[in-house]
Chains A and B, each alone.
Chain A
Amino acid sequence: MSETATTSAGYDAAEEILDRRTPVQRLQTVLHTYPWLSPAIVLVVALVVFGSIADNFATPSNLGTITQQTAIIGTLAIGQTLIILTAGIDLSCGAIMVFSSMVMAKTAYDQGVAGWLALFIGLAVGLLAGLANGLLITRINLPPFIVTLGSLGIFTSLTLLYATGRTVRERELAPELLKLGSPINIGGFTLTTGVLVMLALYGCFAFVLRYTAWGAHVYAVGDDPDAARLAGIQVQRVLLSVYAVAGLIFAVTAWVLIGRVGAASPNSGEGDNLDSITAVVIGGTSLFGGRGRIIGSLLGALIVGVVSNGLSVAGLDQAYKQLAIGGLIIVAVTADQWIRRARA
């Protein structure tokens, strides 16, 4: 109670200063301000738990392996984060990735196109696929869920028809396409160039989202599209650009995928569509848009990688992975609902 609050201005000031929040409300505010904090805690806990139950888990070589296993979901999750920040969703990201990877491999092997050019064509295909999703969403005003559910089927089918059920094997692949699989040794940790590409993309998009007008507009559009429109932002144009950029990121992931698998197979990456959404959601980005940090998605992808790898190193059943990740998703979305109600 403040006894000096006699004037109305004084009363306002007193109300600002008096902090009547409980510790739980304070926690809510902290998590609200730093959305990447909860996935960071979960990741540390997972590392400690598996480190203590499996002797050969916390070794540099195994941790390096985890980053390699995370590279594909982690890179896909960058594009997925951009889309989810606009309150959209992309169920077709894995299908776009696999289709792009087949285009890269087959134009080089079947048509004899130079490796770099084949790579470029594959990236262009990913960009166009994302653009097609974006055009359907912005021009015909279809919900992103429906559009990408449809394009998931279309791109999966196109991949199978185009590949005629055949895998392009390692010795048939142009060397440029395998570039992101080459190992790099940093102090005992064996990474790949693909992992470095993923980290560079995270750095790039963290910067773009934080420090550019486009980044602010992505958040504003996801937050409240009407308010964004009234502020003079061209909402449809921002959405279209997000889906196109995400398509390009999915195609870059195709390059990472070929390097990681050492082949281009029409059947790879089947679970990746949903796994990328899982990584983003566990990473603290809100499915309702406008809230989250891209670095959280990297943490989310690493959590999935650590749990999966840890279970197999500890000799436990992989079925526990689905259990743990499924539980984490529900906890993450519940936490998001709660954190959204925070008042500073």
Chain B
Amino acid sequence: MTATTTTGAVLQARGLVKAFGRVVALDAADFDLFPGEVLAVIGDNGAGKSSLIKCLSGAYLPDAGDIYLDGEAVHFRRPQEARAHGIETVYQTLAVAPALDIASNLFLGRERRKPGILGSVFRMLDGSGMRRDAREQMTKLGIGTLQNMTQPVETLSGGQRQAVSVARAAAFGSKVIILDEPTAALGVRESAQVLRLIQNLRERGMPVILISHNMPQVFEVADRIHVQRLGARAAVVTPATVSITDVVAIMTGALKVPLEDQTLTPVR
């Protein structure tokens, strides 16, 4: 069964297969992300949501199936390749270097050098330029409370650190931002900060994939919910028309959704 591609999707996958020995993590999984939407990906442990995201972000190379970015087929062999195509990932593990300051973290691995001989011969970094852009980026995302870009990240709270990760993704991700359990390591108030950031990203028209276990959070920010089950997409629903109970029922297989019922159109 080969599904046809939908037009207008930013990122889509058709028939992804990924097996680890005899364990089939992805079994002909499909995926669609439309412009400007927050798409939540949920599923029980072992449903393959992590493998799906790793294929999309370049961490895994699928055994079969195709991935399309803006309708063009892409093959990511390493996360750097996905990143080069404008797909940025924020990890739950607070992937920042604590002793480095906010600006250095934002540009970590992508440092910008000064123009002219200072940059080309002496390899000197454009510190003031990077700090200025970092501050602009933080303000754009509504993280105005962080003004001092030379502040070491370890002096920030967990939510603020995750905000730095999200700001980094937003600064470099031109197409898609993937958030992998961004609030798993955070407290209630800090989680709220990160959810506000996600809403800010949507307001700026950036499509976001949110992987989460937290149903209330998913229902709060997602436009659509992709339910992964047994290595494939079981349903795509909108939070407006279904209840948490229904979604959990789909996740566990208690409720089956016929293919033609799934809302595959963007909400806006």
Contact = CB atoms under 8 A, between A and B. Distances in A.
A201 interface: no
A342 B110 CA distance: 28
Nearest to A344: B155
A219 B124 CA distance: 16
Contact of A230 (B91, B100, B123): B91
Contact of A231 (B93, B95, B155): B95
B97 A228 contact: yes
A172 interface: no
Contacts of A316: none
Contacts of B234: none
B265 to A, nearest CB: 34
B59 to A, nearest CB: 10
A213 B99 CA distance: 15
A290 B91 contact: no
Nearest to B155: A344
Contacts of B91: 230
Interface string B151-163: 1100100000000
Contact residues on B (Cβ < 8 Å of other chain), bracket: 20 to 34
B108 A216 contact: yes
B108 A228 contact: yes
B124 A227 contact: no
B176 interface: no
A223 interface: yes
A223 B97 contact: yes
10 contacts: A211-B122, A212-B124, A217-B109, A220-B97, A220-B104, A223-B98, A224-B98, A226-B95, A231-B95, A342-B155
A211 B99 CA distance: 16
A216 B98 contact: no
Interface residues of A, number: 27
B262 interface: no
Contacts of A213: 111, 113, 123, 125
Contacts, number: 74
Contact of A220 (B83, B108, B145): B108
Name the prevailing secondary structure of the B interface residues.
loop
Contacts of A233: 108-109
Interface string A188-213: 00000000000000000001000111
A207 B100 CA distance: 16
B124 A224 contact: no
Given A228-B108, A233-B109, A344-B152, A219 B125 contact: no
B100 A216 contact: yes
Q: Chain A contact residues: over half helix, strand or loop, or mixed?
A: helix
Interface of A: 12-13, 16, 32, 207, 211-214, 216-217, 219-220, 223-224, 226-228, 230-233, 290-291, 342-344
A227 B95 contact: yes
Contact of B109 (A232, A290, A342, A343): A232
Interface of B: 79-80, 83, 91, 93-100, 104-105, 108-111, 113, 122-125, 127, 145, 151-152, 155, 168
Given A231-B108, A231-B109, A211 B93 contact: no
B123 to A, nearest CB: 5
Given A211-B124, A213-B123, A230-B91, A16 B145 contact: yes
B253 to A, nearest CB: 34
A227 B145 contact: no
B97 A212 contact: no
A8 B38 CA distance: 25
Nearest to B146: A16
Contacts of B94: 227
Given A211-B125, A214-B123, A343-B155, A219 B97 contact: yes
9 tightest A-B CB contacts, nearest first: A344-B155, A232-B109, A213-B111, A230-B95, A220-B97, A231-B108, A231-B109, A223-B97, A290-B99
A290 B152 contact: no
Contacts of A12: 145
A12 B143 CA distance: 11
Contacts of A228: 97, 108-109
A213 B119 CA distance: 11
A224 B168 CA distance: 17
B113 A13 contact: no
